[in-house]
Structure 1
C-alpha cells in the first residue's frame, strides 16, 4: 500500500514506519522538517507547517492510506491558554486540511485519538459504545472534535478509523519520564494509586495500526488498550520489580498539581477502558496481556 504518515518522527510514528517498511509498504512522511525526517526515517518526507500551509500536493500523489499521528505532545509543559490552543489546533486544523486535500486514490484514513475521550473517574468500564458528550473537559473536547474532523472523510466513501490510544509502553513516551525516578529508587504510586491505567505495549499498538490499514472491518473508534488494565499502584510495583528497585514512594496529588497544573490530570485521572472491538469484533491477537510480562520483554530487549 502507498501510505502517507504524519507525526512519523514521534514515539509511535518511528516504530510504525519501521514496521510498515519491513512489510514492503511504500511510505511517505509529512513533517515540520522534511529533510530531517527523511534522513532520520529513510523514507521520502515533505515539509509541512499545518498552521500556515496547505498539504503538499506531491506528498498526496497515489496515496491509498493516510495515517495521521500529528499533534503537540500533551505532557510537555504546563497547560497555559496558549499551550492549550497549540495542542488543540495541531490536531483539529491538521486533520481538517488532510481531509480537504485527500486524493481520489485514498481508501482509508486512520487518525489518532485517545482514551481521554472517556470520563476519567470512577470504576465504570467504558468501551466504544460510549456516547460521547457534547460538553466535557479539555481532553474530552480535543478527542471529540478530532474524531469529528476525521469522520468527515466518510462522506467521500473513505473508510475512517480513530485509534483511541491508552498509555503506550516502550522506549520513549511515559516510561522515558518515569525511568530516572524508578532507577533511583524514588518511583511509586501517584496520589492514592487507585486510578486505572489503560496500557498497551508499543508492539501491539503498531500491530493495531498495521492491521487497520488492510482489514476493512476496522471502522470508527477503536480502543487500543490491553484487555488487562491495572491500577497505578500495581503498575508502579511491577515496574519497580522489573528494574529491581523499590517502588513505594508516593507522589502526593497536590504536589503534582502544583508542579504540572492541569497536565497532572494525565496521571491522576482513572480510565477503566475495555478494547471491546479489538476482542469481540476483530479478534485481535494481543501479544502482551500481562503487564509484568510486557515490561520484562521490553527491558530484556532494551
Structure 2
C-alpha cells in the first residue's frame, strides 16, 4: 500500500512507520521540516504548513491510505487561549484540508482522536456508543469536532476510522515526563489517586493503527485502550515497582492546577473506558493487557 502519514516525527508516528516499513508498505510523510523528517524516518517527506498551505499534490499522488496523527502536544504547558487555539487548529484545520484534498486513489482515512471525548468524571464505564450531547470541556469539544471533520471523508466513499487513544506507554508521551520524578523516588498518585487511567502499550497501539488502516472491517470510532484500565494509584505503584523505586509522594490536585491550569485535567480527570469494538467487533488480540507486564517489557533493563 502507498500510505501518507502526518505527525510522523512524533512518538506514535515514529513507531508506526517502523512497523509499516517492516511490512513493506510505501510510506510518505508530511512535515513542517521535510528534510529533518526524511533524515529521521528514512522515507520520502514533503513540506506542509497546515495553517498557510494546501496539501502538496505530489505527496497525494497514488496515495491509498492517509493516517492523520497531526496535532500540537496537549501536555506542553498551560492551556492559555492562544495555546488552545493552536491545539484546536492543528487538528481541525489540518484534517479539513486533508479531507478536501483526498485523491481519487484514496480508499481509507485513519485519523487520530482521544478518550477526551468522554466526560472524564466518576466511575461510569464508557464505550464507543457514547454520544456527547453537550461538550462540557475543551477536550470534549476538541475530540468531537476532530471526529466530525474526519467523518466528512465518508461522503466521498472513503472508509474512515477515528482512533480514540488513551495513555500510551512507551519511550515517549506521559511516561517520558514521569520517569525522571519516579526514578528519584519522588513519584506517587496524583490527586486522590482514584481516577481511572486508560492505558495502552505502544506496540498494541501501533497494531491498532495498522489494523485500522489495512482491515476493511474497521470503521468509525475505536477506543485504543487496554481492556484492563487501572486507577492512578495502582498505576503509580506498578510504575514504582517496575523501576524499583518507592511511591510515597502523592501530588496534590491543587499543586497541579496552580502549575498547569486547565491542562491539569489531563492527569486529574477519570476516564473509565473499555475497548468494546476492538474486542467484540474485531477480535483484536492485545499483546499487553496487564499493566505490570506492559511496564516490565518497557523497563526490563532499568
TM-score > 0.5, shorter chain as reference: yes
Normalising to structure 1: TM-score of the pair?
0.99
Q: How does 1:37-116 map to 2 (within 5 A)?
A: 37-116=37-116
Secondary structure of 1:247's aligned partner: coil
1:298 Cα deviation (Å)? Answer: 1.0
- TM-aligned CA distance change 1:249 to 1:282, over 3 Å: same
Match of 1:183 in 2: 183
Deviation string 1:120-175 (CA, Å, 9 cap, x unpaired) is 00110000010122432100000000000000000000000000000000001100
How many pairs align? 302
Deviation string 1:81-133 (CA, Å, 9 cap, x unpaired) is 00000000000000000000000000000000000000000110000010122
Quick one: distance in 1 between partners of 2:13 and 2:204?
Answer: 13
Secondary structure of 1:250's aligned partner: coil
Q: How does 1:237-256 map to 2 (within 5 A)?
A: 237-256=237-256
1:212 Cα deviation (Å)? Answer: 1.1
Quick one: distance in 2 between partners of 1:279 and 1:64?
Answer: 27
Quick one: distance in 2 between partners of 1:53 and 1:10?
Answer: 21
Match of 2:29 in 1: 29
Secondary structure of 1:254's aligned partner: helix
Output the aligned Cα RMSD: 0.8
Could you list the structure 1 runs, at least 4 aligned residues long, displaced by more than 4 angstroms after superposition: none
1:254 Cα deviation (Å)? Answer: 0.3
Quick one: distance in 1 between partners of 2:99 and 2:210?
Answer: 20
1:295 Cα deviation (Å)? Answer: 0.2
Structure 2's unaligned 5+ residue stretches are: none
Quick one: distance in 1 between partners of 2:121 and 2:134?
Answer: 18
**Corresponding position: 1:118 with 2:118:** yes
